[in-house]
């Protein structure tokens, strides 16, 4: 085995170069880890938004179905009330006699 002697200044230069390369790769890896964490956070937020959108769509469909049932029920109730109002108030089946207790109103 040949024992080679490296001059001290060359050795120091190689050590500094090695340290810079190591620090550069550490900075790059730290930056990439930060990007990965941000990407994971964005994925989590997007998943939460998508889940909320799916939930709202389901609730909206249920509300629309309930609104349809409510509209039919209110329409039927209005039809019954209008029919009964027509029968009782506007088209009585017999002649309405004035009350015998009412005071007569003199003509003007």
| Chain segment 15-62, per-residue pLDDT in tens | 999 999 999 999 999 999 999 999 999 999 999 999 999 888 888 888
- Residues 99 and 108: their CA atoms lie apart, in Å, by 21
With a CB cutoff of 8 Å and minimum separation 6, the contacts of 32 are: none
- For 89-106, write each residue's pLDDT tens digit: 655 566 767 777 877 778
Task: Record the pTM.
Answer: 0.43
């Amino acid at each position: 085995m040949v024992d080679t002697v490296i001059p001290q200044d060359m050795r120091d230069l190689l050590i500094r170069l090695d340290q810079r390369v190591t620090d550069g790769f550490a900075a790059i890896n730290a930056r990439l880890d930060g990007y990965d964490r941000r990407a994971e956070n964005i994925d989590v937020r997007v998943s939460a938004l998508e889940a909320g959108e799916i939930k709202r769509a389901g609730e909206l469909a249920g509300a629309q179905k309930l609104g349809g049932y409510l509209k039919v029920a209110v329409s039927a109730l209005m039809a019954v009330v209008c029919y009964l109002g027509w029968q009782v108030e506007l088209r009585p089946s017999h002649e309405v006699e004035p009350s015998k207790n009412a005071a007569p109103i003199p003509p003007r």
